Amino acid sequence: MPVGSPPLASLPGMHYTFFRRHSVGEKSAMKKKDYLKELDRLTVELVKLQEWVKAKKLKVVVLFEGRDAAGKGGVIKAITGGLNPRFARIVALAAPTERERNQWYFQRYVAQLPTGGEMVFFDRSWYNRAGVERVMGFCTEEEYREFARSVPEFERMLQRAGIILIKYWFSVSDEVQESRFRDRIRDPAKRWKLSPMDMDARSKWIEYSKAKDDLFEFSDLPDSPWHVVDADDKYCARLNTIAHFLGKIPYGDLTPEPIELPPRQEGGDYKRPPIEGLKWIPRVYPEPKGKGAKATKATKTGKAEKPRKDGKKEKPDKGAKKGKPGKDGGAIGRKAGKESPRKVEPSANPDEDS
């Protein structure tokens, strides 16, 4: 989609069900293998960028803002997954403590700013004051107005100090957000992402929309603009954001030259102590084969093989090899059925990578 183009759902004649089926929610316009291939390519470029930032002692701050379940965390993971964590930090601050509530509002964020050679990625930032704090009543109107007056100059101050500031706003539709919330409710591994605050936010959708519009009025500035990401399709949102981010900082290729692996030191008179006495963790994977495998499997599943009354092992039906009906009259073997097993394709669910 060209830069500046509207999302597909807003194009004339484009029915939303078509858009949803092809690019939103649990599905993506990209196949998973294509997404992963392109992510691998962009990760190499991100590593080059990090080497450049380290060599030139640059200071990079990237803000990720937007509604709940817009995919901010997934994008940050995609960006930082292949980077050196010593020089690429993720900042996701919890609610302020009593001490922090009595500090200068920007103080706890200033403590997280990068030194030379670092990139810092804020999963939500000082713009909490103009979003959740304002909508949910966690700040006074005067505190909000003071933030609106201060934040443009605060960001100019950061830039004058040599910090490269990049701001992303992730835009997600009501329908897609609801779909992702329901997916988190169903999945125990994702349920931690939901909080009572998220549920309250659903009932204040319009208030959040108005707060976002007001936020853009005073903070979408020529020297520190908001870059809006169409986040309904997670795979595409991640790749589009990474490609844009790479284009915001000119960098060269400082990939180190291949090195020769030196030979390992000879053992000499060193003798390794016996390993039998070490406290090895149980080997659960891969599943054991051969003797004892059935017992292990029964222990893991809690089900044991049911023995015959005469103590002998159960013999397979003679018709099983030829696809003939077994003793119970059912067809056994691949040749007995008309349908052959279908190949199971990898899931293209973007949420699996969140």
Q: For 18-248, which CATH superfamily applies? A: P-loop containing nucleotide triphosphate hydrolases (3.40.50.300)
The sheet carrying 118-123 orders its strands as 88-91, 118-123, 59-66, 163-171, 226-230
The pLDDT tens digits along the chain (354 residues) read 344 444 433 333 333 333 333 333 457 999 999 999 999 999 999 999 999 999 999 999 999 999 888 899 999 999 999 999 999 999 999 999 999 999 999 999 999 999 999 999 999 999 999 999 999 999 999 999 999 999 999 999 999 999 999 999 999 998 898 888 888 888 888 888 777 777 777 788 899 999 999 999 999 999 999 999 999 999 999 999 999 999 999 999 998 889 999 999 888 899 889 999 899 999 899 887 766 665 555 555 555 455 555 555 555 555 545 445 544 444 444 444 444 444 444 444 454 444
What span, in angstroms and rounded, lies between the C-alpha atoms of 233 and 168?
Answer: 16
Give phi and psi for 33, each to the nearest 5: -65, -35
What span, in angstroms and rounded, lies between the C-alpha atoms of 215 and 125?
Answer: 13
Q: Would you give the distance in Å from CA 181 to the centre of its chain? A: 15
